[in-house]
Chain A
Amino acid sequence: MNNIVNLSELITRVAKVTGTDTNTARRFLRGFFATIEDGLAEGESVSIKNIGTFRRNSDPLSGMSGAVVFIPDNAVSEEVNKPFSMFEPVELADGIEPAELDQAEEPQEEPATKEPVHKPEPEETPLPEEPVQPYDVSAIFEPEAVEIRHEPAPEPIPAEDTPSEIPAAPAPPQPEPEPAEEEPADEEPTEESTPAEEPRRRSLLWLWIAIGLIAGGGLGYFFAMNDPSIPDIETIEESEPEIEPVALPEVAVDSIGMAPAQTAAPDTAPVEAQAAESVPAVEEPKPQKEPVYDTVTSTRYLAKMAREYYGKSIYWVFIYDANSDKLGDPNKVSPGTRVLIPDKESLPGSNTAERDKIAERLSADIQKRFK
């Protein structure tokens, strides 16, 4: 292949094929090519059976190398292309040419690539398989091996076996001895970090909302404390400790005695009067303390006064009852009317519930009276 058949070899072959001697073949070949040369020199094309046609090329662009054109005979072409005679031109659809070329080239390249791939496999495949087994075994027996691994026996066995076979194996057994504690710790941050920022943002959002609610509650409490309604709260708080001793009717003597003792210091009221009035505890208020007066205005009615002095607006009935001689219809009290504010301790009822019921009853009576 790709050899050059020179004249002597050509003579030998022709002589061998035709069964003649080499001199005959040599003379024949010389006369053969000389005749063709004469014909071309005369400007003629020379056609030779079973060989081809020689003709001069009149195209000046072909140059001297293309001065003579040889067109092989069909028999020669068929004989030369006999190995490819089984193939025929195939019509291709548009866009298939690269795939066709790849498919045509792949079967030739695959056997060449497969051979080197198979050679290293038998050497490499046993190596990765052996380290995989200790991993699987340790992973399967992790819960049981946690206690066993503290013993010296099981630990050196995988550690010694793996490095003897593979240099890369000692790395995996090191994290194995303490997998129960380290693995979950490692996995949790990775899971939080990978799925990611949304849960963190949500938690921060909820945190800010909680902080906002707490701050809002604090501000609301601060303003509530500075609000004029504070006395109401204080009066309620004050009324509750007073009620507790009163709630025990049998000990009423002590409570009554204690109450004036605390309040009697500034007052000059005699102790005898208190002892005399100890039995009707409900009707005490007027004589006990100095009378407190207030004035009704266009924005300050009995209910508002009751709320200020007693903590509940429904106790207006007690103010009205104390000033019933002055006041007519409670809904038509004229501004500027000066009313007596009964002492809180003198209000009827032993506790707030009873006092509320009395106030409601009085309110109903008063409203019936002026309907």
Chain B
Amino acid sequence: MDYKQFRKRLCERLGRNSADIDALVEGLSIVLRQSCAELDSVAVPAFGTFAPRKHAEAIVDDLSTGKKMLVPPEISIEFRPGAMLLKRLRQ
């Protein structure tokens, strides 16, 4: 499901036009990015938690060149699905 299909479904569900949906999605994206940048997790009940995780700088073997690389620190976003989501997916 690409974004257009997702937006179409969401417009039908909420009874709003795509512009409003784009604006709301953009607003959610901004909040999500700000929270993760501050290493704050975003917990959505019955769906899951967006948990940012900071990785310190590390030396990694570059498999393509075979040389060691010093990788700078990085913040990744992990998603931990909630119990309700997992239950539904299991069904």
Known: A31-B13, A46-B1, A88-B72. A37 touches B86 (CB 8 A): no
Contact B24 A25 (CB under 8 A): yes
Contact B6 A35 (CB under 8 A): yes
B63 on the A face (CB < 8 A)? no
Shortest Cβ distance from B38 into A: residue = A1
In the complex, which of the residues A20, A33, A35, A64 contacts B24, with contact meaning CB atoms closer than 8 Å?
A20
Contact A13 B31 (CB under 8 A): yes
Determine the chain A residues whose CB is within 8 A of the CB of B67 once the complex forms.
Answer: 91-92
Determine the chain A residues whose CB is within 8 A of the CB of B37 once the complex forms.
Answer: 79-80, 82-83
In the complex, which of the residues A18, A76, A82 contacts B32, with contact meaning CB atoms closer than 8 Å?
A76
Determine the chain A residues whose CB is within 8 A of the CB of B79 once the complex forms.
Answer: 54, 68-70
Determine the chain B residues whose CB is within 8 A of the CB of A90 once the complex forms.
Answer: 69-70
Contact A14 B68 (CB under 8 A): no
In the complex, which of the residues B24, B41, B77 contacts A80, with contact meaning CB atoms closer than 8 Å?
B77
Determine the chain A residues whose CB is within 8 A of the CB of B89 once the complex forms.
Answer: 40-41, 56, 67-68
Contact A4 B43 (CB under 8 A): yes
Contact B27 A80 (CB under 8 A): no
Contact A2 B40 (CB under 8 A): yes
Q: How far is the CB of A110 from chain B (nearest CB, A)?
A: 18
A236 on the B face (CB < 8 A)? no
A351 and B13 CA atoms in complex are apart in Å by 159
Contact A40 B41 (CB under 8 A): no
Known: A10-B42, A31-B13. A51 touches B32 (CB 8 A): yes
Instruction: Place the interface of chain A in its size category.
Output: 35 or more
Q: How far is the CB of A7 from chain B (nearest CB, A)?
A: 6
A335 and B64 CA atoms in complex are apart in Å by 119
Render A1-40 as a binary contact track against B, CB cut-off 8 A, 1 for contact: 1111111001001100110100011011101111111111
Contact A68 B24 (CB under 8 A): no
Determine the chain B residues whose CB is within 8 A of the CB of A32 once the complex forms.
Answer: 10, 24-25, 28
A186 on the B face (CB < 8 A)? no
Determine the chain A residues whose CB is within 8 A of the CB of B80 once the complex forms.
Answer: 65
Known: A14-B24, A47-B1. A7 touches B43 (CB 8 A): yes
A73 and B9 CA atoms in complex are apart in Å by 20
Contact B24 A104 (CB under 8 A): no
Known: A18-B23, A68-B85, A91-B67. A47 touches B47 (CB 8 A): no
Render B17-57 as a binary contact track against A, CB cut-off 8 A, 1 for contact: 00001111111111111111111111111111110100001
Q: How far is the CB of A28 from chain B (nearest CB, A)?
A: 5
Contact B31 A10 (CB under 8 A): yes
A77 and B76 CA atoms in complex are apart in Å by 7
Known: A1-B38, A89-B70. A48 touches B6 (CB 8 A): yes
Contact B70 A35 (CB under 8 A): no
A45 on the B face (CB < 8 A)? yes
A73 and B3 CA atoms in complex are apart in Å by 12
In the complex, which of the residues A33, A81, A89 contacts B44, with contact meaning CB atoms closer than 8 Å?
A33
A215 and B42 CA atoms in complex are apart in Å by 105
Q: How far is the CB of B11 from chain A (nearest CB, A)?
A: 9
Contact A87 B26 (CB under 8 A): no
Shortest Cβ distance from A49 into B: residue = B3
A97 on the B face (CB < 8 A)? yes
A44 and B67 CA atoms in complex are apart in Å by 38
A100 on the B face (CB < 8 A)? yes
Shortest Cβ distance from B51 into A: residue = A4
A222 on the B face (CB < 8 A)? no
Known: A36-B47, A48-B3, A92-B59. A14 touches B28 (CB 8 A): yes
Known: A49-B3, A97-B68. A14 touches B27 (CB 8 A): yes
Contact A33 B47 (CB under 8 A): yes
A64 and B48 CA atoms in complex are apart in Å by 12
Contact B74 A31 (CB under 8 A): no
**Given A37-B88, A70-B50, 5 more pairs with CB closer than 8 A:** A45-B1, A47-B2, A67-B86, A76-B77, A92-B68
* Complex A-B, nearest 4 residue pairs according to Cβ-Cβ distance, in ascending order: A87-B72, A70-B79, A18-B27, A50-B29
